[in-house]
């Protein structure tokens, strides 16, 4: 049920740095062909830092760790049906030999199976707005209590209720580390007003904390919040207005469940005249660079 590209399998076996990349951002998070360009550039950035990049998806019922350029194109261009797959969906999609783009939770499961410790993404899922009545909470958060994987992202997606997301993570005992920040970044912008308990100044510091957690056999992963670079950060008031408009449109159309996040990201791109798409790409690139640096530092420390 799992196929690992030979060079990646060898790197894992030899305790060399590998950084995982999700595939939902390719199939459901960005339009074509920008999704392909972003996926390939993410891989290049990671490898420029001395790590191997492993983009992960399900193809014909097989978990593929380390997609080829042709396989990235296959899940990106809309020529085949690609389902959005989290932890709970894995057995069904694999048994039915379908294609699947893995969410954060799905990617973390695949990383745990393969022995990959670090994973770069855009933003994690969390507690959705109105969850006090809908109970809509992403399985991404629960996965942090299970898989021993460090996820580097630009915070939780700004379309979420960020305060409730942080409260949930605190309740679940999920370790959250800020990279050179005292507050939770809010995806498109560096600002949220929500304080973080731990501010780490270097990739080496983060790597050493991850090593300590896992050497203590503490279950679960680490959430590493990495703010978007200042020059790309969206003005908070402007992006908040765009998000509020997108949420109103979504509620008016009655969109729910798995379609929520793809719709909101697409609608925000429309409202901002594609500016948010460029911001999204830049924050992902920034996360890939940091993830690779942490992975290199981690495995260097294990030698």
The secondary structure of residue 230, as a DSSP letter, is G
pLDDT in tens, 159-206: 889 999 999 999 999 999 999 999 999 999 998 999 999 999 999 999
Spatial separation of the C-alpha atoms in residues 236 and 220, rounded to whole Å: 32
Q: What does CATH list as the number for 2-302?
A: 3.40.1790.10
Which residues of the chain fall below pLDDT 70? none
Just list the catalytic residues.
22, 157
Spatial separation of the C-alpha atoms in residues 9 and 139, rounded to whole Å: 27
- pLDDT confidence of residue 173: 97
Angle at 94 between CA 92 and CA 99, to 5 degrees: 100
Distances (CA, A) of 235 to 61, 179, 189, 209, 276: 42, 20, 7, 32, 11
pTM, 2 dp? 0.93
Distances (CA, A) of 66 to 63, 181, 195, 217: 10, 32, 36, 28
- pLDDT confidence of residue 183: 96
- pLDDT confidence of residue 57: 98
- pLDDT confidence of residue 229: 95
pLDDT in tens, 222-257: 999 999 999 999 888 898 899 899 989 998 999 987
The two counts, helices (H) then strands (E), for the chain are: 13, 11
- pLDDT confidence of residue 123: 92
- pLDDT confidence of residue 133: 86
The secondary structure of residue 233, as a DSSP letter, is P
- pLDDT confidence of residue 129: 83
């Amino acid at each position: 049920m799992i196929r690992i590209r030979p060079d990646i399998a060898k790197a894992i076996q030899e305790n060399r740095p590998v950084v995982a990349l999700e595939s939902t951002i390719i199939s459901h998070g960005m339009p074509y062909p920008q999704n392909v360009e972003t996926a390939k550039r993410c891989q290049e950035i990671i490898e420029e830092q001395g790590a191997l990049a492993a983009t992960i998806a399900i193809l014909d019922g097989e978990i593929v760790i380390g997609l080829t350029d042709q396989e990235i194109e296959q899940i990106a261009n809309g020529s085949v049906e690609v389902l959005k797959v989290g932890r709970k969906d894995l057995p069904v999609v694999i048994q039915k030999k379908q294609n699947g783009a893995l969410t954060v939770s799905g990617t973390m499961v695949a990383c745990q199976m393969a022995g990959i410790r670090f994973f770069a993404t855009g933003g994690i899922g969390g507690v959705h707005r109105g969850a006090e009545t809908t109970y809509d909470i992403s399985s991404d958060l629960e996965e942090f209590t299970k898989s021993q994987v460090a996820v580097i992202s630009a915070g939780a997606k700004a379309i979420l209720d960020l305060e409730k997301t942080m409260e949930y993570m605190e309740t679940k005992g999920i370790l959250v580390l800020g990279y050179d920040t005292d507050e939770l970044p809010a995806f498109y912008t560096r600002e949220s007003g929500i304080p973080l308990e731990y501010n780490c100044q270097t990739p080496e510091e983060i790597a050493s904390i991850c090593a300590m957690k896992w050497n203590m056999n503490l279950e679960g992963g680490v959430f590493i919040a990495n703010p978007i670079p200042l020059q790309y950060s969206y003005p908070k008031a402007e992006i908040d207005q765009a998000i509020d408009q997108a949420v109103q449109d979504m509620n008016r159309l009655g969109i729910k469940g798995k379609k929520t996040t793809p719709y909101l990201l697409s609608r925000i791109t429309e409202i901002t005249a594609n500016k948010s798409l460029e911001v999204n790409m830049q924050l992902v690139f920034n996360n890939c660079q940091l993830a690779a640096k942490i992975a290199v530092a981690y495995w260097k420390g294990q030698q």
